[in-house]
Structure 1
Amino acid sequence: MSDRLTGIALTWRVERRDGIALGLTSHDRDLRIDGFDYRAAPGMTPSAVKRSDDLSADTMEVGGALTGAAITERALLAGRWDGARVAVAAVDWTSGTVIAELGEGRIGAVEVADNGFTAELAGLAALLDRPVAEATAPECRAELGDVRCRVALAPRRRFARVVAGDGAILTLDMAEPTANAYGGGRLRWFGGGNGGLDSAVAASSGDRVTLRSPPAEAPEGALVELIEGCDKSLATCAGRFANAANFRGEPYLPGIDLLTRYPGG
């Protein structure tokens, strides 16, 4: 029994949204299990794994050191690990066999401090915490281009090159097709230090776009894909997209903000 207990180690297989996979272990040396390498650096330290047989969410936390070979502070702050899929397992490091699958989830909140990091993992049961019924609102609840909106996004995606960057404001080598076309949309980075990341666009005007937060790396010369956005108002849905039939909001339904919604109300 003593040999069985001392031969147990924990492993984490982390798969980022851009397809990069990384194996980490709590053991003091690298392990190879089922043809996949699990690195001892950055020395992952887990909290207690909370599992339940009811509908409550499974959660845990893991912590580790920031190392250039595995996980860097810059990559964490840039959001490269946000939403990454994580599979946790207990293995026998003496034979390389999996003893138990402890669960899987996605990385949530990440904190960086004192040359280390702590990441919260939320299991699949956490999805049950979402509201069952949608609340009424004057704005559309669909996302531009999804199955409820039905606006075709293919003609509303364009590639451009970043000419200059000033914080969150980027100057491109092309102008927008309509006023504030990319406001509320997305900007995807191809190549360069920001390659593989997405940025939310707050507003656009002419050949300039304003991001909600500055890019992690210098943007000059980078190739980007711009995806149009929507302010979710009925006027924009009908006038710009001719899609009022699929509008998912209640712009004329009185609410508790009735007196403040209109000037002089």
Structure 2
Amino acid sequence: MTALGARLAGELSHLALCWRIVRVDGVALGFTTHDRPLEIAGLRHLSAPGMAPSAVVRSAGLEVDTMAIEGALSAAAITAADLAAGRYDGAEVTLTLVDWREPAAGSEVLARGSLGAVASSGGADPGFVATLRGETAALEATAIEIYSPECRAQLGDARCRVALRGLRERRAVAAIDGRTVRLDGLDAAAAALFGAGRLRLLDGGDAGLDRLIVGVDGDGLQLDAVLAAVPGARVEITQGCDKRFATCRDRFANAGNFRGEPHVPGGDLLARFAIA
């Protein structure tokens, strides 16, 4: 029996829940339901009594385990600005049970997984609500690829093999109107190359966060979310790909690595008929 197991078997217990959150940008945060901070595995877990999970259920089967997490917003930890920026989306989370008198005695892992979309709950006492998806959620992913006329690779990945070095530029923000960003020296012809690409902010509180370029309006880049930046802030933009074979062949000279079936007949083949 482990040291923690022996403590659990006693008549009295001194237990606390601990959360270890590792964001996609590499920042690690720790929280505990104890009324004082705890040092566990080299990470300081801040006291967050209002942060609590729903019922913790573990099964031996292959069902997808999910759990709701609620907590209070804190200026020193999880802020409304960070939630709006998507810093916690996809973060890796581990929920453990420890004896707060001696955290080094060991811990019991209750749940482990990744966060879905994290949103502010609003109301008189602003907080956040998130869903923790267990490790079995990976079993929901499609195990095989389905044929399609569009490329299934991502521009610049190991299957595409297009070098992104020459497809990136650094520019300064000229103006922001909602989700549309205009950059210094970027005209309409140049902006068209960045559709379906990405924009990374290099300055300010959101530095390091990526935004997907979902469309192009003249010389403006339309993003998937509002960019918290001011004119003059530096950004890095990466060109995108519409995943069509003609684009892969003519623009990137990469037809040999195209991961799609451009000549496979589509569903409209059944609706075609001969014209006399």
TM-score (normalised: structure 1): 0.89
Shift of the 179–166 alpha-carbon distance from structure 1 to 2, 3 Å rule, reads: closer
1:103 corresponding residue in structure 2: 111
Cα shift at 1:43: 2.2
Partner of 2:66: 59
- Are the equivalent residues in 2 in contact too, given 1:50–1:58 (CA < 8 A)? yes
Q: Note if 1:79 corresponds to 2:86.
A: yes
- Once residues 153 and 35 of structure 1 are traced to their aligned partners in structure 2, the CA distance between those partners, rounded to angstroms, is 37
Is this contact kept in 2: 1:185–1:200, CA < 8 A?
Answer: yes
Determine whether 1:175 maps to 2:186.
Answer: yes
Change (3 A) 1:257 1:219: farther
Question: Is 2:214 the counterpart of 1:202?
Answer: yes
1:219, distance to aligned residue in structure 2 (A): 3.3
**TM-aligned CA distance change 1:179 to 1:170, over 3 Å:** closer
SS in 2 for 1:214: coil
Identical-pair percentage: 49
Q: Equivalents in 2 of 1:179, 1:74: separation in Å?
A: 28
Q: Distance in 2 between matches of 1:193 and 1:108?
A: 22
Q: After alignment, is 219-228 or 29-38 more displaced?
A: 29-38
2:235 is equivalent to residue 228 of structure 1: no
CA distance in 2, matches of 1:41, 1:12: 10
Kindly state the Cα deviation for residue 178 of structure 1 after the two structures are TM-superposed.
4.5
Unaligned runs of 5+ in 1: none
Q: Which digits, 9 at most, give the CA deviation of each residue in 1:86-140, with x for residues without a partner?
A: 1111110011233312232111132322212121111222111101122222211
Contact residue 21 and residue 30 of structure 2 kept, 8 A: yes
Write the distance in 2 (CA, Å) between the matches of 1:178 and 1:45. Answer: 49
- After the TM superposition, which of the residue ranges 235-244 and 60-69 deviates more from structure 2? 60-69
2:224 aligned residue: 212
- Please give the alpha-carbon distance, in whole angstroms, between the structure 2 residues aligned to 1:59 and 1:170: 37
1:179 to 1:165, Cα distance in 2 relative to 1, 3 A = closer
Count of matched residue positions in the alignment of Structure 1 and Structure 2: 259
- Residue 23 of structure 2: aligned partner: 16
Aligned pairs (5 A) from 1:179-190: 180-190=192-202
Q: 1:76 to 1:60 in 2, by over 3 A?
A: same
Report what 1:241 is aligned to: 252
Letter in 1 for 2:12: D
Higher mean Cα deviation, 19-28 or 230-239?
19-28
The correspondence for 1:117, drawn from 124, 128, 139, is 128
Q: Separation in 1 of the partners of 2:81 and 2:49?
A: 15
Please report the TM-score for the alignment, with normalisation by the length of structure 2: 0.86
SS at match of 1:181: helix
Counterpart in the other structure of 2:203: 191
Does residue 3 of the first structure (1) align with residue 15 of the second (2)?
no
Answer whether contact 1:41 1:67 (CA < 8 A) is retained. no
Is the CA contact (8 Å cut-off) linking 1:12 and 1:23 kept in structure 2? yes
Is the contact made by 1:183 and 1:204 (CA closer than 8 Å) also made in structure 2?
A: yes
